[in-house]
Structure 1
Amino acid sequence: MHLSYRLLASHCVMLLLGAGWILPGSARAEDPQRTSYTLIVANNASLDPKQADLRYADDDGARYYELLAPQSQQAVLLSVLDAETQERHPGLAARTRPPTRAALLEALQGLNARMAADKAAGRIPVLYFIFTGHGQRGAAGEGSVSLLDGPFSRTDLYKQVIAPSTAGLLHLIVDACDSYFFVNSRGALPVGPALGAAVTQHLAARELERYPHVGVVLSTSKAQESHEWSAISAGVFSHQVRSALAGAADVNADGRVEYSELMAFIASASQGVEDVRGRLDIFARPPLLDRSAPLSDLAQKSGLGYLLIPEGQGGRMWVEDTRGVRLAEFHKERERALVLGLPAGRGYYLRTPGQEARFTVAQGREVVDAGGLSWTALSVASRGALEDAFRDHLFSVAFGPRFYSGYVASTGAAPVTLYPGPDLSP
């Protein structure tokens, strides 16, 4: 009998308890040479008086910080948290600075110094540069994002972030209107059924190719309504990305989330949404230097705890903490196990459309087995047409090896190695 996903999950638990991650035919523990750093810029404010401020960019920044800070040697959050966000994340405001140009450049300078020291010591520093907020495209076609004191343009991005970076790998994640033009050159965004191929071809001749250590994950949605969801107080794209990074996109149970897995996960999550206001245009490309570079790696030691959802449990699920913050959402195939990384030191609910189960992750590296949780009935309130579209259809398509295989075959993305499920033949 082949190794099943349940057995892979047991290997996962061995890792999480410190024994090292064992895969069929190989052994892979954490990489002691890899170090991670995170810089998050989250800004609700718009520089255009005709453009309304966002409501949840600061919430997204806070949630990215809580997920990535326990995995990072240093994490910096530049944001002005509104009163509601400060109430949800007590104490976090004291660790933030305003999202201004001076604060951004100062943070980059400090992170680059630490990453240069890591390189000198033989380590591979990885930088996550995340922006969530307003984006815009000027008359000449150059994109920019909004800082508190002015625009930060595509030229600024290359000259002040990418070119001087001492990171061995740089993951650039942008959730903003017109974010494609913030990373890529002037000109019209390719449209039509071959959007992905056209964007890839467009990128190949542009400046990003000069930086093979840089990977990008972009939302190119133009409508504010389409990428903010009041039911979860977050941006839909950022919510999907965080869910993927927490482990929901780990299709082959190796503890890593690669670019192809994240892309397929977001495609499956959005596939059932028919309301045009809820549709997102997504583009992602891994670093050319290493197309298999993980965006997330649960094998790295961190302060996260873990929720194991075993084989046999499936359907649409989400995890909220006792503050009402939704951390991860997914539609799980019953045939595979799933492990999620969650911030430690708080209580959680694992929820489905009809039930919920309470659990606590008391400390980092703790593993909670969802197979042993007690479930109670859950009632869900409707919030309107678009809320219903997201509630009923977002994450309505199951994500697993079957969807993933079809997705990578249709896009040409570099695939991960899939491991066989149980042999059910007599």
Structure 2
Amino acid sequence: MRFAREALGLAVLLVAGVVGAEERPQATFAFIVGVNRSVDADELPLRYADDDAARYQDLFRLLGARTYLLARMDQNTERLHPQAAAETSVPNWGEWQRLVEQLTRDVAQARARNLGTVVYFIYAGHGSVHNGQGYVTLEDRRLTGEDLAKGLIQRVEADQVHLIVDACSSYFLAYGRGPGGQRRPLKGFSEVAQLSEDGRVGLLLSTSSARASHEWEAFQSGVFSHEVRSGLYGAADVDGDGRVSYREIAAFVERANAAIPNERFRPQVHARPPKDGTWLVVLGKAMEHRIEVDGQEAQHLRLEDSRGVRLADFHNASGQRTWLARPIGTGPLYLRRMGDGREYRIDSMPEVVQLAALTPQQARTADRGAEHEAFSLIFSLPYDRQVVDAYDFQAPVLLEAEPARRRPTWRRVAGWSALGLAGASLGGGLWTTLSAREARSGNRATLPHAEAMGQNQRIRTLNHRSTTLYVAGALAAGAGLGMLLWPGAPAEALPVAGPDLAGVQLGGRF
């Protein structure tokens, strides 16, 4: 049995080695942005976007990427991630431009050395819409579609570009929306439509039926981001080939949330691989230090480091083997069984740890109470090959819209009344203008002085009256149109991502 396990583990590395031997040597780059506080003053700050950025840096460094980090870290994150804190830059426009320039130069140098180049853009933070224009934010500027498409993706001439976006207050909807909603083009993000014609680009985008991407204190992270990282550590690699495909990661995240009954708390994922590839990451040498779960029983496991940072969660099905790359240099790791709360201590040696060879101990700490009932169901269902085979990201995904809300009766009555008043006022203004013109065209030179003065006064009165009526009519028309045409619900940014389409639309009800 032990020989079989070791042979299978060796096969994982051999497969990864064969993949690397067949393909051109690659240089990998990860541009990571985490923004807790938006440039928009009315947006409530997030708590864990900086933690997500630091953890993404740890993950992609483990996978061999050169990283570029924009995040303002709070004191707790600085203590937990001192290396990231030392390297990060403030997420403002000036630092964004500087790092994009540096990334562009580094990718060009790699291409000059005949290396394949892969760039990951990872964003955790805020997304919204204003005056018909969708955006994500830095601390001092909104990043529109043109900033993203032209200022980053097209400028960095990499062989492949993968976008992983966990944006608060935004939709990433694949094909359409449910009954009761209408859509219109969203200006400013039209440049992103060029992604659908670019075979280099793959998309892994968060969404939620609550119209927001959630954070959870138990993860100290965005829910979607934690699930994505869990899968990219290797838990989503269902066939053990040393690579995580877009289908595998999408099925992994969907399965993790399938048990949550309330759609508002059930994150969804929209995935579209590049046209010239199906893989999101190649685990490669990261799997030289790994944890192997033999799959004799289905169990939900979570991996933490000695600092208490929750690195990954997964739930293997019975009979489903799981391989998890493990970070080195952070002290012992702890793998907790969520069913009974017992945990395994994993030291730095040996390089390959067989979970079946370890003895579980009583957990060091108890879970804190009052965890959110919905999020506590995450990873409660097992993940295996059947889940991946059943997942189809090519199929249109329809997110049910909220029922259209009718405007109150008083708004309709007041709106039409205001338009009627506007019509009467404008008509009166026109009549007085014509009357003044007629009086002015008369032959006043032959009139006695007193009558001429009276005629001039009448013309001035008519002019004043017509001006007043025009102003009143315009104000009444504006008020009436506002009450009749103002959206019944806030307009929403609808970034579109499908197998053959990428763009953004604005949805609202009028």
TM range (shorter): 0.7 to 0.9
Match of 1:322 among 288, 306, 310: 306
Residue 12 of structure 1, CA deviation: 3.4
Give the distance between the partners of 2:374 and 2:366, measured in 1 at CA: 14
Residue 375 of structure 1, CA deviation: 0.2
State the SS of the aligned residue for 1:47: coil
Q: Does 1:77 align with 2:74?
A: no
Residue 360 of structure 1, CA deviation: 2.0
State the SS of the aligned residue for 1:307: strand
Residue 380 of structure 1, CA deviation: 4.3
Deviation >6 Å, runs of 4+: none
Change (3 A) 1:178 1:192: same
* Match of residue 311 from structure 1: 295
Give the distance between the partners of 1:411 and 1:8, measured in 2 at CA: 37
Q: Does 1:95 align with 2:107?
A: no
Residue 85 of structure 1, CA deviation: 0.8
Change (3 A) 1:407 1:302: closer
* Cα contact 1:178–1:221 (8 A) shared by 2: no
Match of 1:296 among 263, 278, 281: 281
Question: Residue type of the partner of 1:119?
Answer: R
Change (3 A) 1:348 1:38: same
- In our comparison, the structure showing a higher alpha carbon Rg is 2
State the SS of the aligned residue for 1:376: coil
TM-score by length of 2: 0.69
Residue 149 of structure 1, CA deviation: 1.4
Residue 322 of structure 1, CA deviation: 1.1
Change (3 A) 1:410 1:207: closer
Give the distance between the partners of 2:89 and 2:208, measured in 1 at CA: 27
* Match of residue 104 from structure 1: 96
Residue 117 of structure 1, CA deviation: 2.3
State the SS of the aligned residue for 1:339: strand
Change (3 A) 1:154 1:298: same
Greater mean deviation of Cα atoms: 333-342 or 27-36? 27-36
Q: Which has the higher helix share?
A: 2
Give the distance between the partners of 1:117 and 1:369, measured in 2 at CA: 41
Change (3 A) 1:394 1:36: same
- What does residue range 331-410 of structure 1 map to in structure 2 within 5 Å? 331-345=315-329, 346-353=331-338, 354=340, 355-361=342-348, 366-378=351-363, 380-381=366-367, 383-384=369-370, 387-391=372-376, 393-408=377-392
* Cα contact 2:27–2:115 (8 A) shared by 1: yes
Change (3 A) 1:310 1:32: farther
* Cα contact 2:169–2:213 (8 A) shared by 1: no
Residue 311 of structure 1, CA deviation: 3.1
Residue 22 of structure 1, CA deviation: 7.5
Residue 405 of structure 1, CA deviation: 1.5
Give the distance between the partners of 2:61 and 2:260, measured in 1 at CA: 32
Change (3 A) 1:234 1:410: same
* Cα contact 1:303–1:343 (8 A) shared by 2: no
The CA RMSD over aligned residues, in Å, is 3.1
Question: Residue type of the partner of 1:235?
Answer: G
* Match of residue 107 from structure 2: 115
Q: Does 1:244 align with 2:231?
A: yes
Question: Residue type of the partner of 1:349?
Answer: Y
* Match of residue 424 from structure 2: none
Per-residue Cα deviation, 1:208-252 (whole angstroms, up to 9, x for no partner): 222210101111237598610001211000001101111111111
Residue 84 of structure 1, CA deviation: 0.9
* Match of residue 257 from structure 1: 244
Greater mean deviation of Cα atoms: 159-168 or 234-243? 159-168
Q: Does 1:157 align with 2:148?
A: yes
Per-residue Cα deviation, 1:372-396 (whole angstroms, up to 9, x for no partner): 1110234743543x623212x1111
Per-residue Cα deviation, 1:146-193 (whole angstroms, up to 9, x for no partner): 102111111110110111111100010110025556xx9xxx972249
Change (3 A) 1:104 1:10: farther
- What does residue range 49-68 of structure 1 map to in structure 2 within 5 Å? 49-68=41-60
Change (3 A) 1:32 1:348: farther
* Cα contact 1:8–1:253 (8 A) shared by 2: no
Q: Does 1:190 align with 2:176?
A: yes
* Cα contact 1:348–1:360 (8 A) shared by 2: yes
State the SS of the aligned residue for 1:388: coil
TM-score by length of 1: 0.82
Per-residue Cα deviation, 1:36-73 (whole angstroms, up to 9, x for no partner): 11110111002222221000000000100011013235
* Match of residue 167 from structure 1: 158
Gaps of 5+ in 1: 194-202, 415-426
State the SS of the aligned residue for 2:289: strand
* Cα contact 2:231–2:237 (8 A) shared by 1: yes
Change (3 A) 1:78 1:9: farther
How many residue pairs end up in the alignment?
383
* Cα contact 2:233–2:312 (8 A) shared by 1: yes
State the SS of the aligned residue for 2:296: coil
Change (3 A) 1:88 1:22: closer
Give the distance between the partners of 1:332 and 1:36, measured in 2 at CA: 29
Residue 78 of structure 1, CA deviation: 0.8
Give the distance between the partners of 1:217 and 1:177, measured in 2 at CA: 15
* Match of residue 118 from structure 2: 126
Change (3 A) 1:114 1:49: closer
Q: Does 1:143 align with 2:134?
A: yes
Gaps of 5+ in 2: 180-189, 397-497, 500-510
Per-residue Cα deviation, 1:103-157 (whole angstroms, up to 9, x for no partner): 12221222222222222322211011101011112231x3211102111111110
Question: Residue type of the partner of 2:356?
Answer: G
Give the distance between the partners of 1:356 and 1:403, measured in 2 at CA: 27
State the SS of the aligned residue for 1:375: coil
Give the distance between the partners of 2:288 and 2:134, measured in 1 at CA: 36
